[in-house]
Amino acid sequence: MIVEATLFVAGLAALVFGADRAVTAAAEVARFYGVSEFFIGVTLISVGTSLPEMTTSIVAASYGAGDIVVGNIVGSETSQITLAIGIVALITPIVAKRREVMVYGGAMTLAMIIMLLTLEDGVVQRSEGFLMMLAYVNFVYTLYTNEGGAEIAEEVVEEEETPERGLPRVVFGLLLVVVGGQVMVTNGIELARLVGISEYFVGLLTGLGTTAPEIVVAGIAAKEGRGGISVGAILGSNITDPVFSLGIGALVADVVVTDLASVTLSGVYMLAVSLVVLALFYWREGIDRRAALVCIGLYLPTFVVL
C-alpha cells in the first residue's frame, strides 16, 4: 500500500509539474514568433492549464475508471472556486467587474449544469463527449472574440523564449504529463482497492492535487504584487473542465460512473458553492479578506459530502 501511495503522489506531481512547464514554455515560444496574445490566451493557456485534468480523464477512461474521471473534475472545480480563490484573496483582495462575473460565472455555471445533466444516467457516451467539446469550442469562439484573451496571457507569460530553449521544455513537460498521468491513475485504482475507499474519492483527492500548484503560484504572485488576477483567469479552467476535459475522456471510451449517488451529491454541492462564491463576487465586486474566509469555509465539507 505504501508503494502504491508513493507512486500515486509521484505521478500526480509529475503530471502537474509537466503540464505547467509545457504550457508556459509553449506560450513563451508563441510570443517569440509574434503570435497574438489573444490566440495564446484562447488556446495554449485556456485549454493548456486544464491539461492535468484532461490527461487524467483520457488515461482513467481508457482503464474504465469513470469514477476517477468525474471525481477528478468535481474535486478540481470545487477546490478552485473555493479554496484557491479564498487563499489568494486572503493575501490580496480580488477586484472584479460585475459584467465579467456575469459572463465568466454564467459560462462556468452552464458548463457545470451540462456536466451534471449528462451524468444523470451514470454514463457519458462518445457522442455526448463530442457535443460537450463542441459546446466549449463555441464558447471560446464567441466569448473570447468579444472579451479577448490577452489579459489571461499576460498573467501567465512573463517573457519571450527562443525555440531552442523553449521547445525542449515543451517536449519534456508533455513527457512528464503522459508518464505521470499513467502512473497516477493505475496506482490510484490499485490504492482504492487496497484501502477499501471508492475510486471516486481517489478522484476527488486528485482534483485537489491538480489544483494545489495553481494555488501556490497564484498565492506567491499575489504576495509579490505581480499584477491583478482577472476573473477570466480564475474561472477559465472551471469552464474548461466540466465540458472539455470530461468530453475528451468520453471520446476515448464511454465514461461509466458506478457511485452515482456520491457523484450527484458532491456535484450538486459543487454547483451550490460555486453560485455562492459568484454571488459574493457580484455583490462585493470582488472577494475581500472577509469573503475569502467564507470561500475557504465552503471547501471544508467537500470530502464529507459523499
Is pLDDT above 70 for 93? yes
Domains and CATH numbers, the chain: 2-303 (1.20.1420.30)
Question: What whole-number distance in Å separates Cα of residue 240 and Cα of residue 231?
Answer: 14
- Phi then psi dihedrals of residue 253, to 5 deg: -160, 150
- pLDDT score, position 158: 61
Percent with pLDDT over 70 in the chain:
81
**Cα–Cα distance, 88 to 96 (Å, whole number):** 14
What does the pLDDT average to over 36-41?
Answer: 60
pLDDT higher at 290 or 96:
290
- Reply yes or no on whether the pLDDT at 227 is more than 50: no
Cβ count near 2 (within 10 Å):
6
| Bridge partners for 95 per DSSP | 286
pTM of the model: 0.81
Q: Tell me the pLDDT band of 223, cut-offs 50, 70 and 90.
A: low
Name the more confident of 134 and 231: 134
Question: Burial, 145: exposed, middle or buried (Cβ in 10 Å; 0-12, 13-18, 19+)?
Answer: exposed
Return the pLDDT at 25. Answer: 79
pLDDT exceeds 80 at position 80 = yes
* More confident call, 49 vs 4: 4
Q: What does the pLDDT look like over 169-178, one tens digit per residue?
A: 888 888 888 7
Sequence-distant contacts of 97-101: CB under 8 A, at least 24 apart: 97/231, 97/285, 98/282, 98/285, 100/230, 100/231, 100/232, 101/231, 101/278, 101/281, 101/282
Cα(19)–Cα(173) distance, integer angstroms: 6
Instruction: Using pLDDT thresholds of 50, 70 and 90, give the confidence band for residue 116.
Output: very high
What is the per-residue pLDDT across 188-200, written as a single tens digit (0 to 9) for each?
A: 878 777 877 888 8
Of 32-36, 70-74, 212-216, highest mean pLDDT: 70-74
Q: How many residues does the chain have?
A: 306
H/E segment holding residue 295: helix 289-299
Span 181-187, average pLDDT:
80
Count Cβ atoms below 10 Å from residue 226 Cβ, excluding itself: 11
Average pLDDT over all residues of the chain: 81
